[in-house]
Structure 1
Amino acid sequence: MRYIVNDVAAVPNGGGVYSILEDFYLDVLKNDHENEWFFILAGKFFPESDNVKIIVREDLKKGKIKKLLFELFNGRNYINRLNPDVYISLQNIITYGVKASKQIVYLHQPIPFQNEKNFSFFKKREAKLAIYQKIIGHFIKKSLHDIKPTIIVQTDWMKEAAAKQCNIKKENIIVRHPEVNIGNEKKAYHGNGKHFFYPASGFLYKNHDIIGKAISILNKNGIDDFKIDFTLAADQLNIKSKNINYIGHQSRKYIMKKYESDVLIFPSYIESFGLPLIEAAVSGDIILAADTIFARELLKNYNNAYFFKYNDADSLSELMKKIINHEIKADGTRLSINDNGERLLKTIMNITTEKKDVE
């Protein structure tokens, strides 16, 4: 079979979007030597093989309008010339007019589907997000409604939202969350309550500002014997405090180690999945999370999670104070998960072949 994968949106240092592509591509390269694969990407980011090739379309990264026109109008001719049996979009929207017998969309962008925040075109920090939420999001939903591909999402809440907002049958939507690192060699949380951390990019909805406000409240009340690590460079945020360490991007191994000693603060109010929540919970860590539909879904069976309204700095500062003063302690239990997630390649193979369970 010939598989065509479209993901020109993903580029190195592009955060989770690129991680999804990288994991999937390298899995294909290593484990599928029978089928033909063509990846339409913005650059030759990975090695190729006899059956796995990259087609570079860097031009589609030069503007959102050009990329959108490709998906709506002229992309069909380009893709159909490749004679796909299976067409896969890893970038949320499905291309109109593709003649593949099977079409799949990996829907992992929650901004158009969430109800936590209505972004404004008239606020400088929100304008780009408003465009994605209200304009790009409209075309994403319309394409899924019109073409009705098989849709892969990471959470039940995304399945419910997509089915309702795209007016499509739930039977067309498959829930498969990413694999979670739950190695038994890790120690459970044994921190002293003085160290917190937040592994996240600098997008507005990651909501670092609320942590900055909570720090100010604690400082005003004479509490300053604590540290918070952000996985960003100091010039990526306009938050200055002696309580914050900007440690930059870190490896997954480093982050997993942090769950043993540092309390996770997770104020993000828009996520498709929120992997750090699960990683921290299987490590027995204390978690302070914004009270959102995705956090409630992921942490519904976990004892050491405490929730605050995402824009309520007083509530967050009060929880932090209780941890610093040892009024909140981890109870030593970890989240037990029966479903450790699934590789994207395995999910796609199970969709496109007659085999019930592909390794």
Structure 2
Amino acid sequence: MRIVVSDYAATPTSGGTFSILEDFYKDVLKHDSKNEWFFILAGEYFPTSANVKIITRPDLKQSKFKKLFFELGGGRSFINHYHPDVFISLQNICTVGVKSPLKIVYLHQSIPFFQGHRFSFLKPAERRVALYQRLVGRVIKYSLSKEQPLTIVQTDWMKRAVIQQTRLVGERVLKVGPKVPVINDHHYFANQHHRFFYPATAYLYKNHQLILKAIRLLNGQGINNFQVSLTLTKEQLPTANNNVELLGFIPRQQVLKMYEDHVLIFPSYIESYGLPMLEAAQKADLILAADIDVTHEVLAGYSNVYYFDYRDPEALARLMKKVITGELKSDLRPIQVPYRNESLLQTIQQLIVEGK
């Protein structure tokens, strides 16, 4: 069987999207020596084998408009040249016109399906997100509606959104949660009330500005005996004040350690899953989270989470004040995470066997 995988959007600097590709590719290389695999990538990032090959298309990564042309049908002949029995897109879009008996899309980009705010091209801070929400998002939804691939999402809220906003029928949308690392070190939150932590990139929807506004509100009340640690740099957040510690990028092991003596703030309002919340909850950490569908879904049954309106800095400031004064404490009961041992490759292999 010949399988073609498209993921030229992922590069070593693209964070989680590259991790998805890397894990999937390594699984294929290690566990499948029977099928022919062709990966369309932006570069030769991995070793190859007799049955696993890399086809490089760096030009598609360099131009968004070239990428959209490719996905809307310009790339059909390029992919069809390999005569795939299975076509897999790990980058949210199903290339229009691909002739393959089975098409599978791994949909992990939630921006196009967020309807709480319409981002504007006229506002410089919103342009990048607006591009994904209003242009790339339209292409994603069109490709899913037209090609009707099996579409894998990570949460129930994403499944509902995809069904509501595309012409995919329910049985074509499969919810498969990510493979969550289970933390069994028994090093739990120390009920520290003056340190807060938010591990997130500098994207607008990660909502760092809400935290800064909440800090200023607390300062206005004479509350200054606390610190908020962020994984950003001074260049990324030049308006930070003395209550903010800017860590820049830190390794995952340090992130996990910080959950033990820092309260997690999670104000992000667009998430496909929100893994930091689940990691912190396994440490029995106190969590202040945006009141959105995905946070409730990921933290269902967890006793140490308090929700706030992600548009209201006063709501966050009130919760932070309760933490600082000791009114809010963790009961030190970690969340129980059901271990899912199945990898993305195993999920896709099962879909191939079932011949959906």
Q: TM-score range by the shorter chain?
A: over 0.9
Code of the aligned partner of 1:87: F
Q: 1:177 maps to which residue?
A: 177
Match of 1:274 in 2: 274
Identity of paired residues, percent?
Answer: 50
Do the aligned residues in 2 keep the contact of 1:281 with 1:335 (CA within 8 Å)?
Answer: yes
How far does residue 25 in structure 1 lie from its aligned partner after superposition? 1.5
1:354 and 1:134, CA in 2 relative to 1: closer, same or farther beyond 3 A? closer
SS in 2 for 1:87: strand
Deviation by residue 1:283-312 (Cα, 9 ceiling, x = unmatched): 211110111111111122111000111121
What's 2:72 paired with? 72
CA contact (8 A) 1:177 1:341 kept: no
**Conserved in 2, the CA contact under 8 Å of 1:15 and 1:201?**
no
In the alignment of these two chains, the number of paired residues is: 356
The TM-score with structure 1 as length reference comes to: 0.95
The gaps in structure 2 that reach 5 residues or longer are none
SS across alignment from 1:236: coil
Provide the secondary structure at the position in 2 that maps to 1:329: coil
SS at match of 2:124: coil
Which residue is 1:89 aligned to? 89
Contact 1:178/1:341, CA 8 A, preserved across alignment: no
| 1:191 Cα deviation from its structure 2 partner | 3.7
Cα 1:45/1:275, change in 2 over 3 Å: same
Q: How far 1:30 moved relative to its partner?
A: 2.2
* Distance in 1 of aligned mates of 2:142 and 2:339: 32
Identify the residue that residue 338 of structure 2 maps to in structure 1: 338
1:162, distance to aligned residue in structure 2 (A): 0.3
1:53 maps to 2:67: no
Shift of 1:339: 5.1
Q: 184-193 or 2-11, which moves further after superposition? A: 184-193
Task: Please identify, of 206-215 and 233-242, the stretch whose mean Cα deviation from structure 2 is larger.
Answer: 233-242
Q: Distance in 1 between matches of 2:342 and 2:315?
A: 36
Aligned residue in 2 for 1:101: 101
| Alignment partner, residue 131 of structure 1 | 131
Q: For residue 165 of structure 1, what is the aligned residue in structure 2? A: 165
Where in structure 2 are the equivalents of 1:134-213 lying within 5 Å? 134-213=134-213
Q: What is the match of residue 113 of structure 1?
A: 113
* Cα distance in 1 between the residues matched to 2:311 and 2:2: 48
Report the Cα offset of residue 256 of structure 1. Answer: 1.6
Secondary structure of the 1:125 match is helix
* CA distance in 1 between partners of 2:125 and 2:141 (Å): 24
1:268-293 deviations in Å (ceiling 9; x for gaps) = 00011111111111221111011111
1:329 maps to: 329
Give 1:240 shift: 1.9
What TM-score do you get using the length of structure 2 for normalisation? 0.96
CA–CA distance in structure 1, aligned partners of residues 21 and 116 of structure 2: 27
Name the residue aligned to 2:5.
5
Q: C-alpha distance in 1, partners of 2:27/2:187?
A: 29
Deviation at 1:52, TM superposition (A): 1.8
Gaps of 5+ in 1: none
CA RMSD of aligned residues (A): 1.6
**Conserved? CA contact 1:94–1:105, under 8 Å:** yes
C-alpha displacement of 1:131 = 2.2
2:191–2:329 CA contact under 8 A, matched in 1: no
